[in-house]
Structure 1
Amino acid sequence: MKALLFTGVKEPLVYTDVDLPEHDDTFGLVRLRAAALNRRDYWITLGLYPDLRFPSILGSDGCGEYEGQEVVINPSVHWGNDPRFYSDDYFILGMAEDGTFAEQVAVRKKNIYPKPAHLTAEQAAALPLAGLTAYRVLFSRCQARANDKVLISGVGGGVALLACQFAIAIGAEVYVTSGSEEKIEKAVALGAKGGANYKSPESMKALQKRSGGFDVVIDSAGGDGFNQLLKMCRKGARIGVYGGTAGAWNGVSVPNVFFKQLSIYGSTMGADAEFGQMLDFVSEYEIVPVVDRVFDLKDGNEALQVMKTSRQFGKIVLRIANL
């Protein structure tokens, strides 16, 4: 079969022929139709993850065919029985085990789920990792509900966009931040009430005044801007943190946390039950993940270069075959 091989840190992926995956009867062999990139894949190519293995096949998200059925793959492996936290054996598909940047992938049968019927293969491939992460941080951790005022930071990435779409679907009043006015406008077109450019203190202050503050804040950046998010919280607000791309929470005003009775929740990926719940939610509300652009599998390096720029609005998808 054809696959994109990761052969070394900061080396281009190699599009080549490889053997079909070996597997026992607890695994199913999924014939992939589409896969999606995540920031994780790019970071792995830079050597920013431990215990890298060469050669290997990256890719956590995939949609394809298994036993005549259209399916999606849960990339969250060995979460365990505690819904609060993953087990010591936990990992994400695509490192340590070979992933979805290939024509076929061996997946544990319990991680294979029916594809939401209203989605194309490319849309469905954009869903698993980002959808699971967004669902857990928004609902399981922050308990978002109708009429909450919700702020999603860094809209444009896969998780932030799906969190935005999920919150809009339940009737929350959603606002976004971005360093791009164009991305804010696109989020408003999806149903957000408005947004602010996080590079502009005046824009952020105007958003706080307009909204009256937020019940739920979903953030993946951290860094110096985190203190501004705390200032924008209402009393009793819930803050969900699923990343830290901007680094440490420098200059955080701790009194903002305890005087306002704020709750800060860390979150990453999700349990098997949450993956099933997320798919049911997507089907019920007919959520369609935003796909920025689609590349053929052989052009995976070009797709990674687009991700490097962070200019995309939505997911970058690799087309493997047509359903």
Structure 2
Amino acid sequence: MKAIVLEAADKPLVYKEVEKPTLAPGEVLVHIKAAALNRRDYWITIGRYAGIKYPSILGSDGAGTVAEVGSEQDNHWLNQEVVINPSNNYGQSDDYQGADFKILGLPDNGTFAEYVKTRVEYLHPKPAHLTWDQAAAIPLAGLTAYRALFTKAKAKKGDRVLISGVGAGTGAFALQWAVAAGCQVFVTSGNGEKIERAKHLGAAAGVNYKAQDWAEQLKLIVHGFDIIIDSALGPGFAKFPDLCNPGGRIVIFGGTVGNIPALDGRKIFWKQLQLLGTTMGTTADFTAMLQFVNEHKIIPIVDEVFPLRDAQKAIDKMENSSQFGKIVLQNL
């Protein structure tokens, strides 16, 4: 089969012939129709991620048809259109991932290939209203944003939600999830066009975080937030407690700009704020997310589609952070 292979950190991705996976009982082989990129894939390609091995086939997001099964009892999955949950071995607790938790695409070979091997419990029916490209866009970013917003922050209709960095895949999904849930959504971005795009998708307003007074601008627009979703951290994070309503929840799942700066703890305890960390999600989270997608007929935002063989071009685009939504690789 053909696959995109990372042979070393200082080499571009290679489109080449590799051995097709063999199955053990309980495993399935999915013929990938479309796969999507995540920031995780970019960090791996430049050697800045834990546990990197070479050669590797990256890719956590994928949708396709079940081509083979490892057990007769799983025959009912054959030829079914599916989306793959990349959050594997989450563990016994719903509150945090266990020691055996892993994400599809490293250490196990991922979805940037004609076929990918996974376990049957990670298969979910593809939402019928979505194309392959749209379905492939959901798994990692969609799950991360869904758990952050609903499982952790307990978002409900009428909540005021701030999404920091809306152009990323997780940010775009958080926007779509929150709007569909009836929240009043506000956004930040370093790009004015992305703010306008977010407003077109239902955001009430947005500000450019590159402005010196971005937090003051938000205070003039809205009287406090119930929920703030952030994946950047960095110096700007210190403004969040001031922006929160009493009882507000700040949920984080990344640190692309740096670490959490010094915070005024008095504001946190007096306003009874919650600072919540989250990573990916459980099988129950993934199932609930797809039910939410089906119920609200949500269509994920796909920024651009590349042929599978052009995965390096797709990674190069992600490096520039010019996308709004997801970058997809097509293998039709």
| Distance of 2:176 and 2:267 partners within structure 1 | 29
Corresponding residue for 1:91?
Answer: 102
CA offsets 1:145-188 (integer angstroms, 9 cap, x no match) = 00000000000111111111101001100000001111000000
CA separation in 1, counterparts of 2:26 and 2:291? 25
For residue 7 of structure 2, what is the amino acid of its counterpart?
Answer: T
Cα distance in 2 for partners of 1:138, 1:211 equals 19
Distance 1:252 1:51 in 2: 32
Contact 2:97–2:279 (Cα < 8 Å) also in 1: no
The equivalent of 2:183 in structure 1 is: 172
The letter of the residue matching 1:55 is P
Distance 1:10 1:46 in 2: 7
Q: Partner of 1:51 in structure 2?
A: 51
1:38 paired residue number? 38
What is the match of residue 199 of structure 1? 210
Deviation per residue, 1:293-322 (Å, 9 max, x gap): 00000000000000000010010000011x
117, 129, 152: which is aligned to 1:141?
152
CA RMSD of aligned residues (A): 0.9
Per the alignment, residue 71 of structure 2 pairs with: none
* Equivalent-residue separation in structure 2 for 1:83 and 1:250 (angstroms): 29
Distance in structure 2 (CA, Å) of the matches to 1:70 and 1:284: 19
List 4+ stretches of structure 1 deviating above 4 A.
Answer: none
Partner SS, residue 62 of structure 2? strand
Supply the distance in 1 between the matched residues of 2:40 and 2:193 (Cα, whole angstroms).
Answer: 25
SS in 2 for 1:201: coil
Q: Distance in 2 between matches of 1:273 and 1:226?
A: 30
Q: 1:208 deviation in Å?
A: 1.6
Q: Hey, what's the Cα distance between the residues in 1 that align with 2:217 and 2:318?
A: 30
Give the alignment of 1:1-323 within 5 angstroms: 1-66=1-66, 67-321=78-332
- Cα deviation for residue 111 of structure 1 reads 0.3
Amino acid at match of 1:200: A
Q: In structure 1, how many angstroms separate the alpha carbons of the residues matched to 2:147 and 2:261?
A: 26
Q: Which amino acid aligns with 2:246?
A: K
- SS of aligned partner of 2:24: coil
- Counterparts of 1:133 and 1:127, CA distance in 2: 10
Contact 1:197 1:204 survives alignment (8 Å): no
**One-letter amino acid of the counterpart of residue 33, structure 1:** K
User: Paired residues, what number?
Assistant: 321
Letter in 2 for 1:15: Y
In the alignment, the residues of structure 2 paired with residue 231 and residue 124 of structure 1 have an alpha-carbon distance, to the nearest angstrom, of 38
8 Å CA contact 1:122–1:319 kept in 2: the answer is: yes
1:27 aligned partner, one-letter code: E
Q: Which runs of 5+ in 2 are unaligned?
A: 67-77
Distance 2:272 2:47 in 1: 39
Q: Determine helix, strand or coil for the equivalent of 2:96.
A: coil
Q: CA deviation at 1:275?
A: 0.5
Structure 1 unpaired stretches of 5+:
none
> What letter matches 1:295 in structure 2?
F
Q: How high is the sequence identity, in percent, across the aligned residues? A: 50
